Chain A
């Protein structure tokens, strides 16, 4: 995407009611989030450039810092967090080739499975404690989580 199109995209998103925009194709990923903080843009293709040369790596490394800094305040405003009851590995789907249990924006019923946290071959299916909306998924698939780490930001309905 060239800079002209990107500017147009930001303008369109800013003028709409959209608070979060995400686009992901094979060679680039664009995330635009809006809130009380100024909008920021994250651009890059981290999955495609694990061995990028330092001069290219620098901007992509700098970009994730913005969402990380903005996340806590967004979480506090948006709703409650659902925390991990155990140390383990976070899985979004029942199997590597299966669809994720939930996506951002989805409304889930009480008792619905949201993810699996595995610790030492003990599979812990984390369920929604009440009907709620998934605001944010805080961890990447297969990422290690500590006891008490937020897994989801949810909004109770």
Chain B
């Protein structure tokens, strides 16, 4: 039933205006009564569909929140989004994804929410998550790699989000080590991952992805620790949340398939090309105190930042705030 409802939405979009019941029934190969049932279920999901005798159906508007039918219709993936839970509101999609993963959710399961009450940031901080404007989602992955290789996926989701921003807006975001996504030096996405692992195997990894899409200036919290922005503020036009979510999930799926087949190499190369420090000198500080500085040389297999100091020595950085100088 799900798939048929997706197809109906596609037909509405492709044709615009009114679509006759006869045409839909021919395209789907089902009776007109069956179509009526699918239309009813779409209406229950919040789609407004007009029905006029002798003219057919017309999609007037789609819901403000995500619905799985709409999003699935735009997915073209092997793994990501094969199970898709779209919620109107939740505490944290990371917590939801962690719970369903513990209950055996398959690899690629995704939780998307329209709003979060307690979106997770680093060290107990909150990711501001107002309703109706942004993307908040979490992806369950079950790679057969060692736990110490898991941080590599941090770089993978940063590249996926960067690609999706480029594809949907034409903007050129940059990545600040390890995974802050910036436009013009301002943060537009927050990525926070969680892992459940044994000593020598990973049970699952949750990739948490929050992207500021259509947030307006008055929706940003006042106590931000860093300058922040949204795609709307940077591009001047609204981004379709469903299109962005689908694009990001499609890119994530491709990158992950490549990662499983070829390892960290391709992700690392693309990450290095998209990094804001590429070819530049940077300084690293911790708790506001400068620790070291040097020329950006890329990242190693652990994702550690490599810097060349004045004396030509290569330094390996595993934590700290990296600033281009």
Contact = CB atoms under 8 A, between A and B. Distances in A.
A60 interface: no
A155 B124 CA distance: 30
Given A119-B151, A144-B318, A96 B123 contact: yes
B302 interface: yes
Interface in B133-167: 147-148, 150-151, 153-155
B126 to A, nearest CB: 10
Interface string A113-157: 000001111111100000000000000000010010000000000
Nearest to A98: B124
A120 B179 contact: yes
B151 A96 contact: no
B153 A122 contact: yes
A124 B148 contact: no
Nearest to B179: A121
Contacts of B318: 87-88, 119-120, 144
A120 B303 contact: yes
A87 B192 CA distance: 17
Interface stretch (B15-23, B107-115, B194-202, B215-223): B194-202
A123 B147 contact: no
Nearest to B193: A122
Contacts of A121: 122, 154, 178-179, 191-193
B303 A124 contact: no
Contacts of A124: 147, 150, 194-195, 197
B205 interface: yes
A125 B194 contact: yes
A95 interface: yes
B319 interface: yes
Given A121-B192, A123-B192, A86 B178 contact: no
B182 to A, nearest CB: 15
A35 interface: no
Nearest to B303: A120
Contact of A86 (B123, B124, B151, B192): B151
A15 to B, nearest CB: 42
Interface string A65-91: 000000000000000000101111101
The listed residue with most A CB atoms (<10 A of its CB), out of B123, B125, B153, is: B123
B61 to A, nearest CB: 37
Given A96-B123, A120-B303, A125 B151 contact: no
A91 B123 CA distance: 9
A122 B148 contact: no
Contact of B151 (A95, A120, A144): A120
Contacts of B199: 83, 85
Contacts of A100: none
A94 interface: yes
Contacts of B191: 121
Nearest to B192: A121
A95 B196 CA distance: 19
Contacts of A147: 148
A85 B147 contact: yes
Given A120-B179, A120-B303, A144-B318, A86 B154 contact: no
A122 B124 contact: no
Nearest to B299: A120
B148 A86 contact: yes
A85 B151 CA distance: 12
B150 A96 contact: no
A133 B287 CA distance: 34
B306 to A, nearest CB: 14
A123 B197 contact: no
A118 to B, nearest CB: 8
A72 to B, nearest CB: 21
Given A121-B191, A123-B192, A125-B194, 18 more contacts: A85-B148, A85-B199, A86-B147, A87-B302, A89-B319, A96-B124, A119-B151, A119-B302, A119-B318, A121-B179, A121-B192, A122-B151, A122-B153, A122-B205, A123-B193, A123-B195, A125-B195, A144-B318
9 contacts: A85-B197, A86-B150, A95-B123, A119-B303, A120-B303, A122-B194, A123-B194, A124-B150, A147-B148
Closest 8 CB pairs of A and B: A95-B124, A120-B151, A85-B147, A120-B178, A122-B193, A119-B151, A120-B154, A124-B195
Interface of A: 83, 85-89, 91, 94-98, 118-125, 144, 147
